[in-house]
Amino acid sequence: MQNKRKTSGQVEASASASASGTSAGSKGRDKPLVCGNWKMNHNHFEAIQTIQKLAYALNSDDYHHVEVCVHPPFTDLRSAQTVLQADNIPIALGAQDCHSADAGAFTGEVSAAMLAKLDVTYVIVGHSERRGLFGESDEVVNAKARSVLRHAMTPIVCVGETFDQRRAGEAHEVVSQQLAGSLDGLDEAAVGALVVAYEPVWAIGTGETATPSDAQDMCAHVRARISQGWGSAAAAGVRVLYGGSVKPVNAADLMEKSDIDGALVGGASLNAEEFARIVNHRLYAT
């Protein structure tokens, strides 16, 4: 895998970080980030078992080369936090979503303030399933990202095009618009310290995967658009993940691309052994 430089765009956040400030989790492009999004799978007993199996499958050298994060459902977070801390497992805890408000009459919602109390590091916002199934707009995603930053966590801001948009030649335009809306009002330092996940909607859960060249093209476009809108330091610092049916068989080829800084893994992350092989992609690189 190519070496990826640490830049001045990476800054540490404090608990008093504002929405235009920086986030806590991002560690720079020198260390890939591999996140497992469990979606609506695994109860809290299964979450504990999966984390323990994953920890058994990884070693200190793996953690040295790759930052690992798991994103269980909300009901599993406390159990996951407990096992990670009790067993001193160096895996970050992530959440799949949050509400933009800190508290209020929002039945069924969970706030970033609540997640912060569970030692969550990364929060996914704007996942294609949230955008597509629940109608979340860029404005909503922006509000969520600001809330995550306000509570000193790192948002993973998701962008990506549908099959019809790609077929119409609109992929770059769609992603540019999503970035503009989802990151609106954030300053260069904040954008440089967060994570963007490019997920081709047509490849999520379908078994289809963008070729490594396709993925590189779109991730490079994300970085170029960030450079245009927020400056070169932001573009050099932001970590861009690829998410779209990432599996052990394609992880190494995807991760060797210069503008792909990690992976947002869906179904394959539910199996500890499969996910560990994705984390260990460096061992299978040709």
Q: Is the pLDDT reported for residue 8 higher than 80?
A: no
Q: Which residue has the tokens 């790192």?
A: 154
Q: Is the pLDDT reported for residue 12 higher than 60?
A: no
Under a CB-based contact definition with an 8 Å cutoff, are residues 212 and 254 in contact? Answer: yes
Q: Does some domain include residue 105?
A: yes
Q: Does some domain include residue 225?
A: yes
**Catalytic position from the list 71, 127, 151, 221:** 127
Q: Is the pLDDT reported for residue 52 higher than 50?
A: yes
- What integer pLDDT is reported at residue 239 of this predicted model? 98
Q: What is the CATH number of the domain that holds 200?
A: 3.20.20.70
Q: Does some domain include residue 244?
A: yes
Q: Does some domain include residue 57?
A: yes
Under a CB-based contact definition with an 8 Å cutoff, are residues 74 and 110 in contact? Answer: yes
- What integer pLDDT is reported at residue 135 of this predicted model? 97
Q: Does some domain include residue 180?
A: yes
146 φ/ψ angles, rounded to the nearest 5 degrees: -65, -40
Strand extents, DSSP E, the chain = 33-37, 67-71, 92-95, 122-125, 154-159, 195-198, 239-242, 262-265
Q: Is the pLDDT reported for residue 20 higher than 60?
A: no
Average pLDDT for 151-160: 98
Q: Does some domain include residue 120?
A: yes
Q: Does some domain include residue 152?
A: yes
Model pTM above 0.75: yes
For 240-279, the pLDDT digits (tens) are 999 988 999 999 999 999 999 999 999 999 999 999 999 9
**Catalytic position from the list 199, 221, 274, 281:** 199
The 10 Å CB-count burial string (b at 16+, else e) for 179-204 is bebbbeebbbbbbbbbbbbbbbbbbb
For 53-81, the pLDDT digits (tens) are 999 999 999 999 999 999 999 999 999 99
Q: Does some domain include residue 5?
A: no
The number of distinct structural domains making up the chain is 1
129 is catalytic: no
Token pair, residue 200, equals 């081709």
241 φ/ψ angles, rounded to the nearest 5 degrees: -100, 155
Q: How confident is the model at residue 203 (pLDDT cuts 50, 70, 90)?
A: confident
46 is catalytic: no
Average pLDDT for 108-130: 98
Torsion sign, CA atoms 19, 21, 24, 29: positive
Distances (CA, A) of 286 to 129, 164, 229, 252, 282: 33, 34, 36, 8, 9
Higher pLDDT, 19 or 261: 261
- What integer pLDDT is reported at residue 145 of this predicted model? 98
Rounded to the nearest integer, the mean pLDDT of the chain is 90
Q: Is the pLDDT reported for residue 90 higher than 60?
A: yes
Domain region containing 158: 36-284
Torsion sign, CA atoms 97, 101, 103, 108: negative
The two beta strands, 122-125 and 239-242, are: unpaired
- Residue 220, amino acid: A
Task: Please name the helix (run of DSSP H) or strand (run of DSSP E) that holds residue 65, with its range, or none.
Answer: helix 60-65
Q: Cα-Cα-Cα-Cα dihedral of 273, 278, 284, 286, to 10°?
A: 160
